Amino acid sequence: MNLRPADPRITMKLLEGRKDLLGPLAEARRKFYDDQHCIRCGGTAFTRITDSKTMFVPNDPLPRYLLKCRDCECLFDPHSGLLLTMGNLGKAFVPTIPILEGTDD
């Protein structure tokens, strides 16, 4: 599903004099995503993933995103808590025992 935004000039003209109803909701949604922690590694850096099947739900005017952890690369839905892709925990943590690399001298 391709979404094409409306021309901002036309949008602003249509919204003149109207009360901002989506602004506070959008701010609360942004804070919700900022407060998330990875359910596998506890990381806090995410890439938002759009999924047309779950992006819009009834009675919610804002899009919903899936979050992909930048540390362990797992994919989860922060709204339902479902883990969709396991990712790799080995990428998230630095090993406590240093890995020694051999030299071929």
Question: Cβ neighbours of residue 68 under 8 Å, at least 6 residues apart?
Answer: 46, 47, 48, 49, 74, 75, 85
Query: Considering the complex, what minimum distance in angstroms separates the CB of residue 41 from Zn ion?
Result: 3
For position 71 contacting Zn ion by CB under 5 A, the verdict is yes
Question: Cβ neighbours of residue 34 under 8 Å, at least 6 residues apart?
Answer: none
Among positions 41, 66, 67, 75, the unique one binding Zn ion when judged by CB under 5 A: 41
For position 72 contacting Zn ion by CB under 5 A, the verdict is yes
Size of the site for Zn ion (CB under 5 A): 7
Tokens in use for 6? Answer: 């409306």
End-to-end CA distance of the chain: 57
User: What is the rounded CA–CA span in Å between residue 82 and residue 100?
Assistant: 37
For position 67 contacting Zn ion by CB under 5 A, the verdict is no
Query: Considering the complex, what minimum distance in angstroms separates the CB of residue 85 from Zn ion?
Result: 11
Query: Considering the complex, what minimum distance in angstroms separates the CB of residue 39 from Zn ion?
Result: 8
For position 78 contacting Zn ion by CB under 5 A, the verdict is no
Tokens in use for 31? Answer: 């804070």
Q: Which residues of the shown chain bind Zn ion in the complex (CB under 5 A)?
A: 38, 40-41, 43, 69, 71-72
